[in-house]
C-alpha cells in the first residue's frame, strides 16, 4: 500500500513538473498574454501601428479589443483605438479630432470614410502622410486576414491624397517594409 502511494505521488510530481515546464515554455514563446486569451475568450489581441519615435517607420503596440461576432464591428473598434493614439512610446498618426463616419467591407476591401480632420489637421510632410496611411492600412490588413485592401475616403469621397503627397485614389495593400524591426 505504501509503495502504491509513493508511485501515485511520483506520477503527480512528474505531471506537475511537466505542467510547469509547459507554462514556462508557452510564456517564453508567446509572451505572458498567451494565458489572457485562454482566460478572457471575449477579447482579441491586435497590433496597432503608430509612428516610431526614432525612425521614419511604424512600430506596433498591442491592444485587447472586445471580441464581437462580426468583422464590421471589430474593424470599427480597431479604428477607434487607432484614433485614440498610442499608450506607450509610439507617436500618434491620426489627428485626435478625426472621426470614422462610415465603414463598409466588400470583396475583401475595407472602405473607411473619415471626417475632414484626417486631412485638415494633418501635420503635413510626405513621411508623416505615408505613416498615417499605412498605420491604418497595416493595422487592418495585418490583424484581419479577411481584409486584403483598404480604400480611404474623406466625407464619403475618394481623395487624391490626405496631405498632398501619397496617392489614395485606389485601394491600398499593406507595407511590411514600413514596420521597424524590434
Residue 37 lies in a domain: no
Can you list the positions of beta strands (E) in 35-164? Answer: 43-51, 58-66, 100-106, 109-114, 149-154, 157-158
Cα distance between residue 115 and residue 154, in whole Å: 6
Q: Indicate the SS3 state at residue 152.
A: strand
Same domain, 27 and 65: no
The H or E element spanning position 28 is: helix 2-30
Same domain, 21 and 58: no
pLDDT in tens, 48-92: 999 999 989 999 999 999 888 899 999 999 999 999 999 989 999
Q: Which candidate, 169, 126, 131, places its Cα nearest to that of 151? A: 169
Cα distance between residue 10 and residue 26, in whole Å: 24
Grid-cell match 480604400, residue found: 151
Per-residue model confidence (pLDDT) at position 33:
54
Same domain, 20 and 62: no
Same domain, 22 and 107: no
Same domain, 24 and 56: no
Instruction: Provide, rounded to the nearest whole percent, the portion of the chain with pLDDT above 90.
Output: 71
Residue 64 lies in a domain: yes
Total domains in the chain come to: 2
Q: Indicate the SS3 state at residue 111.
A: strand
Same domain, 76 and 106: yes
Residue 112 lies in a domain: yes
pLDDT band at 21 (very low <50, low <70, confident <90, very high): confident
Same domain, 16 and 98: no
What is the domain extent for residue 105? 42-178
Same domain, 61 and 147: yes
Same domain, 81 and 7: no
Same domain, 128 and 66: yes
Same domain, 51 and 76: yes
Amino acid at each position: 500500500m505504501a509503495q502504491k502511494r509513493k508511485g501515485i505521488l511520483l506520477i503527480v510530481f512528474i505531471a506537475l513538473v511537466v505542467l510547469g515546464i509547459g507554462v514556462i515554455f508557452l510564456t517564453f514563446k508567446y509572451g505572458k498574454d498567451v494565458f489572457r486569451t485562454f482566460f478572457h475568450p471575449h477579447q482579441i489581441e491586435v497590433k496597432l501601428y503608430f509612428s516610431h519615435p526614432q525612425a521614419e517607420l511604424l512600430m506596433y503596440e498591442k491592444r485587447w479589443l472586445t471580441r464581437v461576432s462580426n468583422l464590421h464591428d471589430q474593424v470599427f473598434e480597431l479604428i477607434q483605438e487607432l484614433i485614440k493614439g498610442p499608450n506607450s512610446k509610439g507617436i500618434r498618426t491620426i489627428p485626435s479630432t478625426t472621426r470614422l463616419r462610415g465603414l463598409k467591407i466588400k470583396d475583401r476591401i475595407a472602405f473607411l470614410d473619415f471626417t475632414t480632420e484626417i486631412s485638415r489637421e494633418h501635420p503635413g510632410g510626405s513621411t508623416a502622410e505615408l505613416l498615417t496611411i499605412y498605420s491604418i492600412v497595416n493595422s487592418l490588413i495585418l490583424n484581419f486576414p479577411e481584409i486584403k485592401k483598404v480604400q480611404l475616403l474623406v466625407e464619403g469621397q475618394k481623395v487624391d491624397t490626405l496631405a498632398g503627397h501619397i496617392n489614395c485614389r485606389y485601394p491600398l495593400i499593406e507595407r511590411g517594409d514600413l514596420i521597424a524591426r524590434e
